[in-house]
Amino acid sequence: MLKRFFDNRFRILFVIVTIFSVWYCDGVLSIKNDDGVMQAAAMYHQPRGTVDVVMMGSSHVHYAIDTGKLWDDYGISAYDYSAAEQPLWITYYYLKELCKSQKPKVLVLDMYSPAFQKDDYQYKWMLPNALGMRFSLNKMEMFKASVEKEHFSEFFPSFAVYHGRLSGLTADDFTYPFRKYKYLRNFKGFKPMTKVTPQTRPTITQTNSEDLTEKSALYLRKIIDYTREKGIDMYMIVTPYVVTDEQELVYNRLKEIAQENNIGFTNYNHDYDEIGLDFEKDFMDESHLNYYGADKFTGYLGKDITERFDLPDHRGDKKYKSWEENSREIKKSVSD
């Protein structure tokens, strides 16, 4: 009898230790890339039903849209749910994942990737787009649309790609499992960068249009249909960067698609002066704003979306305290 008692306790202890070890090792070894992985991972830690505006698309989103400023200036509970060079087919499955726990009023969709990338399978930035999403049927559907069978094992399961981390672990990796919940709750996706790289202002003259690829057009249609099904207002944008004539052709076609579907569309590359962008000071590189440019653009975008959509001001509401913390942490990160 006594032996059975201790055997049972040992089994329970063994199960607890095993679960803890797997949880801890996964936290330590996990890739903590903030060009998509952390944006996807932190989404699961947002208070349920609190994200009013979701910003989706490429890295242009999480470099250019300061969630802390949107909160400070307008009380908007916004989240940058984006990843590097994210194609529209991944955005579609991200949107479905978000709607499992959130009921956004507005989707602001960055259209850079369909103008920049023309391949049906885009592997260069696939890992940041895939690792942060939890295992689900939705994730498997995303892989089916995004990865050819012969490449599947390169991206799934997630722990199979951790092996390269062993030689690069830091002290922060070992403490991450114990502090990640607070960090992920307060993180809203924005990645402030203070690097300054002067750019040459482009001259935009292109008025012709060029269609999207067949796959991008298909998934844009899916996104439009899904937002209508869920009662989400959609707004298509192009964040400011050093745009090219080739990309402008696609943006002109996207504007036509938006008009055909009664969806708002703004190419902010036509608003450099109104935004107040300084090409000597406000860019990190030719494709991304730095923190100073993001501050100007976010103020302009916030005014735009509050005039277009009826959005509540949540400042002072304890349920949205993590947005206050997010704003505070962003300011601290750029002042350190």
Listed by start position, the domains of the chain span 1-29, 31-147+172-335
CB 295 within 8 A of CB 69: yes
Confidence of residue 273 (pLDDT cuts 50, 70, 90): very high
User: For residues 172 and 116, which has the higher predicted lDDT (pLDDT)?
Assistant: 116
CB 175 within 8 A of CB 266: no
For the domain spanning 31-147+172-335, the CATH number is 3.40.50.1110
**Residue 152, pLDDT score:** 80
pLDDT tens digit string along 18-75?
A: 665 555 555 555 665 678 899 999 999 999 999 999 999 999 999 999 999 999 999 9
Percent of the chain with pLDDT over 70: 84
User: Residue 121: pLDDT above 60?
Assistant: yes
What is the DSSP-derived secondary structure letter of residue 202?
P
Q: Is 242 left (phi over 0), alpha (psi -120 to 50) or beta?
A: beta
DSSP assignment of 68-110? HHHHHHH---EEEEE-TT--HHHHHHHHHHHTTT---SEEEEE
Averaged pLDDT score across all residues of the chain? 89
Q: Which three-class secondary structure state does DSSP give residue 211?
A: coil
Q: pLDDT per residue over 187-243, tens digit each?
A: 999 999 999 999 999 999 889 999 999 999 999 999 999 999 999 999 999 999 999
Distance between CA atoms of 291 and 263, rounded to whole angstroms?
29
pLDDT at residue number 170: 72
Lowest mean pLDDT among 99-103, 149-153, 296-300, 324-328: 149-153
Q: Give CA–CA dist 119/122, Å, rounded.
A: 6
pLDDT at 155 over 90: no
Please tell me the pTM assigned to this model: 0.90
